[in-house]
Amino acid sequence: MKTSVIVIGDELLIGQVTDTNSGFIARHIAPYGWEVNDVQTVADDAKQIRRAIDRAFESSDVVLTTGGLGPTKDDITKSVLRDYFGGEMIKRKDVLENVLEIFRRRGIKINVLTEGQAIVPSTAKVIQNRVGTAPIMWFEREGQTLVAMPGVPFETQEMFTSEVFPQLLKKYQTEMSVAHHTIIAEGISESALAMRLEEWETALPDYLHLAYLPKPGIIRLRLDGHHRDSELIERETAEYASELIGLCGDNFLYDGDKTPAEILLEKLISTGKTVSTAESCTGGNIAHLITSIPGSSEAMLGGVVAYSNDVKQRVLGVDGETLKEHGAVSIPVVEQMAAGACRATGSDIAMATSGIAGPGGGTAEKPVGTVCIAVAKRDGTTISQTYHFPGNRSRVIDRASQTALIMAIRMLDKLVE
């Protein structure tokens, strides 16, 4: 099923807010064989919104809009949809009751503007918004559907997954069965991996498709299958995915769709091992990535943000002479940091980072983007490497964090062999 998305709001066009709703929708519907074939971003302007809807209906039976449903005068989507689909604006008692309940839970008194959220086009089927005040409106005309959702990402994501998309699936049933299988590869560029897989990928049957989905430090390979025979497509997708794992060789990291932090935590918990961190340039980001995952307390013992050399020495036991001789951004220092984290926390393994995230601080010998990473085992075994990551400060921190997690996964694999 082809779907079009229209993202509405002046704030999106001036860069004040970044659209995340269209990407979320595309990711959520893809496993069901649906696809977003068009995304338009338009201002809070009636003519632009109407033109966008006309264009979307030319290529899609389902159109999803986000934004422009607030209570202020600049939010005009509701009135545009009334004009487009006909009918009149009516005050819905059930919508008002839902808005009042939302405000009651938040401990806020409703005002006249917010009360106006209960006024909707008579031609709309309303889906009550359980997490916000803007009702979701469903319009149908000549076999086509438009669903208008709020622009607040949390509200869109919650209501789209729980209410909107299940209803769309029920309305637009298909006999096509869908299967997906994702594996994670690392330590190779996307182009190099594509060259390795070219012959295999060319020989794939028509009902299978391979997608390359690179992220910092990893490449997600998603094998998508579509066929009327559900048993065949499930079997074929699994068999070709197994071949794909073999072709990845040493670059294969994980069979499934998880982040490096999730993969590491899963392996730690399943093997009864623990981890800690000693971070300088990443500033606690590695620990944050791990502890953001529910259940991380089963394996994550703690972390030290050792930004200054003094903390590196006093807390982690880094030798002062080593710092003087090699500098904070060096392999000997991160190896001692990782070992110190193991001692301080009693963890089975520990990750350590020290680098120059920029934009300043680089030298000819150690330019911006230079990061030393080490992973140590409690028995003293250590792996370490110096990297040179491109990009701005946030990108360097992200790449260093993901790389440290991948190194820890590799170390853990060796630890439990």
**Burial, 6: exposed, middle or buried (Cβ in 10 Å; 0-12, 13-18, 19+)?**
buried
pLDDT band at 73 (very low <50, low <70, confident <90, very high): confident
Distance CA 406, CA 80 (A): 50
The per-residue pLDDT for range 109-151, each reduced to its tens digit, is: 777 777 788 889 999 999 999 888 889 999 999 999 999 999 9
More confident residue, 32 or 218: 218
Rounded to an integer, what distance in angstroms lies between the CA atom of residue 152 and that of residue 69?
10
Residue 299: pLDDT above 90? Answer: yes
Tell me: pLDDT of 103 over 90: no
DSSP conformational letter for 33? T
As a whole number of angstroms, the distance between CA 262 and CA 4 comes to 32
For the chain, what is the largest distance between any 2 Cα atoms, rounded to a whole number of angstroms?
80
Residue 133's pLDDT is 84
Q: How far apart (Å, rounded) are the C-alpha atoms in residues 354 and 308?
A: 10
User: Helix, strand, coil % (nearest 5) of the chain?
Assistant: 45, 25, 30
Average the pLDDT over 257-278 and give the result: 97
CB 290 within 8 A of CB 264: yes
- Asked if pLDDT for residue 98 goes beyond 90, the answer is no
* Cα separation, 81 vs 288, whole angstroms: 43
Are 60 and 4 in contact by the 8 Å Cβ rule? The answer is yes
Query: Averaged over 229-238, what is the pLDDT?
Result: 94
Give tens-digit pLDDT for 303-352. 999 999 999 999 999 999 999 999 999 999 999 999 999 999 999 999 99
pLDDT band at 417 (very low <50, low <70, confident <90, very high): low
